[in-house]
């Protein structure tokens, strides 16, 4: 399993599967080769909500954003 965290607060947001992580890696921009943090906003969610992302992943990301414009997340394998 993969744990997602709020990069600023280090708060655990939830866990995702390898396939959900791979989707994020496929669609999000990496600043460097081993990048493990990403900025997520509503446009990001809209982009992956085309049937590629699971309901679980979409809900987790929506909860992470809350009422903010976006959130920086990071991931770690357990």
| Tens-place pLDDT, residues 40-62 | 999 999 999 999 999 999 999 99
Does residue 29 register a pLDDT over 80? no
Measured CA to CA, the distance from residue 49 to residue 37 in angstroms comes to: 20
Tell me the pTM.
Answer: 0.88
Judged on CB neighbours under 10 Å (0-12, 13-18, 19+), 55 is: exposed
Judged on CB neighbours under 10 Å (0-12, 13-18, 19+), 18 is: exposed
Query: At 3, which helix (H) or strand (E)?
Result: strand 2-6
Domain boundaries, the chain: 2-77
Does residue 32 register a pLDDT over 70? no
Measured CA to CA, the distance from residue 10 to residue 48 in angstroms comes to: 24
Does residue 34 register a pLDDT over 80? no
More confident residue, 29 or 1: 1
């Amino acid at each position: 399993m993969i744990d997602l965290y709020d990069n600023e607060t280090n708060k655990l947001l939830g866990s995702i599967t390898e396939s959900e992580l791979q989707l994020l890696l496929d669609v999000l921009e990496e600043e460097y080769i081993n990048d493990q943090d990403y900025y997520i906003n509503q446009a990001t969610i809209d982009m992956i909500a085309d049937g590629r992302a699971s309901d679980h992943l979409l809900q987790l990301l929506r909860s992470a954003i809350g009422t903010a414009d976006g959130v920086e997340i990071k991931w770690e394998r357990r």
